[in-house]
Structure 1
């Protein structure tokens, strides 16, 4: 087992005081065989009522209720985790999913229908992202798709703002990790594969500094459901499949479902704000 500690802090500073809606905080790991939580602690502004729940996607969520007006919101996270080393290709596909295109069984399709249905238009797509002209091994096709996105979409750091629609990312040929993820998930759905968005932490200690794209920030990637393998993580930002270095905190159908912090302020005027973050992930 690998023991790591995560320390994360985010502060939203507002130009004026305001009342706030309940805020949903999705920063707690989705535990599984590869990720085990030894200790977790979320703190926010003094006097806040924090309630812990599981949402419709089985994400662990902290609901924060703010009783008074504030000019800033602060979230601090402390995590001590144990990770089981994971080979992302250690699976066997069911016979009906060995090649793309493939069709889910009726039972699979019934359960996965919400994840198969496209949510946003793609518009014209490059030939490399279109349906292959003939059957091709599923894993080979996914590796190629993931590599093409990594190699052809220029990465840009953008900590705030909504994810670009897939059409915009393809038009600009650049984007942040959440733009890569939204584009990838819609391409997969376009081809009839069940896909969902994921947010969380990417532990990049073993990467050269120039290749670190999630340093000091949260990360977004994709999972697709492959019969026989289950939900398989794919990171188009880095062009790799997801092993034990990826620690998911939320999954969902749309970017709003996986936002690390979700809420709003009440008021009749616009109150500008700035976000500052600090993230440390290190081996114990």
Structure 2
């Protein structure tokens, strides 16, 4: 059980003093059986007039900062977390007997709650994603559900090129499939839509990644927020799959927010009031370190 420290800084600069609209932040995880939050602080400069907390439709913890009449050439957010992460790998999850081989059907009482996460959200007119996903289903006998999702996760890791992107939004799954490259959120969305095409319920996860190897041979995607997906498996619940790093289970993954679509899980959203050309730069810096010995 590692104890991890997270520091997440987002800093904006402007050419002249500007005002600020409300800013919506998702930087605080919820306590769970696999994550225990020990400390959490949030510092904002200039200080907001008010911060209010709420839970969104998915149960994520959201802070809304209101700045009133404040004006500044900079806006900086710094979140610090200290937490214990109880790690589990895929084989440790106990899938219900009826769902251990694919295909299977979710139980009737679960379907109404899973329905929107089972729906395809992005167009696939040539069925490229469909055909790619079906390639992981065995034709010579039953397909083990674990194996199918593990093969898909590792295939994305090994055959697609990870590329960090500063642009907002995501590539469509068809674009990622055709280009063979994408950011962590693009790769997560591809796996979500591929899993949905096979009848699985899948959702997007935003959070942080611990990369323990300082020589660069470990996980990729650190230094900023990270994204992966969850697939709902009867008996096991929502299980993490990180196709960027080939991780099955929650090892090294710090979950902050879950959502039906990536746009609903943005770590920070807001606006400024001033000339359109006033914006100069945005810098995001995330560090996740082992705090077990502290």
- TM-score (normalised: structure 2): 0.89
Matches within 5 A, 1:31-70: 31-48=31-48, 49-67=50-68, 68-70=70-72
In the other structure, the counterpart of 2:254 is 247
1:229 equivalent in alignment to 2:236:
yes
Equivalent in the alignment of 1:5? 5
CA distance in 1, matches of 2:58, 2:72: 31
CA distance in 2, matches of 1:191, 1:115: 12
Q: Which moved more, 1:239-248 or 1:66-75?
A: 66-75
Q: Residue 207 and residue 81 in structure 1: after superposition, are their counterparts in 2 closer, same or farther (change >3 A)? A: same
- 1:196 is displaced (CA, Å) by 0.4
In structure 2, how many angstroms separate the alpha carbons of the residues matched to 1:5 and 1:270?
36
1:208-230 deviation per Cα after TM superposition (whole angstroms, max 9, x unaligned):
51443122111000001000110
**Which of residues 82, 85, 105 is equivalent to 1:80?**
82
Residue number in structure 1 paired with 2:28: 28
Say if 1:58 and 1:273 are closer, same or farther in 2 by CA, change over 3 A.
farther
Pair 1:153–1:124, CA change in 2 (3 A): farther
- 2:18 maps to what in 1? 18
Deviation string, structure 1 residues 170-199 (Cα, Å, up to 9, x no partner)? 121101101001111111111111000001
Q: 1:276 aligns with which of 272, 283, 286?
A: 283
In the TM superposition, what is the alpha-carbon distance from 1:117 to its structure 2 partner? 0.9
Match of 1:215 in 2: 222
Q: Which residue of 2 aligns with 1:172?
A: 179
2:134 to 130, 136, 140: 130
Q: Distance in 2 between matches of 1:244 and 1:212?
A: 11
Distance in 2, Cα, partners of 1:273 & 1:162? 20
Q: Which moved more, 1:129-138 or 1:211-220?
A: 129-138
How has the CA–CA distance of structure 1 residues 207 and 125 changed in structure 2, closer, same or farther, with 3 Å as cutoff? farther
Unaligned runs of 5+ in 1: none
SS of structure 2 residue aligned to 1:78: strand
Residue 205 of structure 1 aligns with which residue? 212
Judge conservation of contact 1:128–1:145 (CA < 8 Å) in 2: no
State the TM-score, normalizing by the size of structure 1.
0.92
Verify the 8 A CA contact 2:46 2:72 in the aligned structure 1: no
Alignment length (residue pairs): 284
Higher mean displacement: 47-56 or 107-116: 47-56
Deviations 1:40-83 (A, max 9, x none): 00111233021111111111111111212333321101111122
> Residue 124 of structure 1: CA displacement?
3.6
Gap regions ≥5 residues in structure 2: none
CA contact (8 A) 1:34 1:244 kept: no
Given that 1:216 and 1:279 are in contact with CA atoms closer than 8 Å, whether structure 2 keeps it comes out as yes
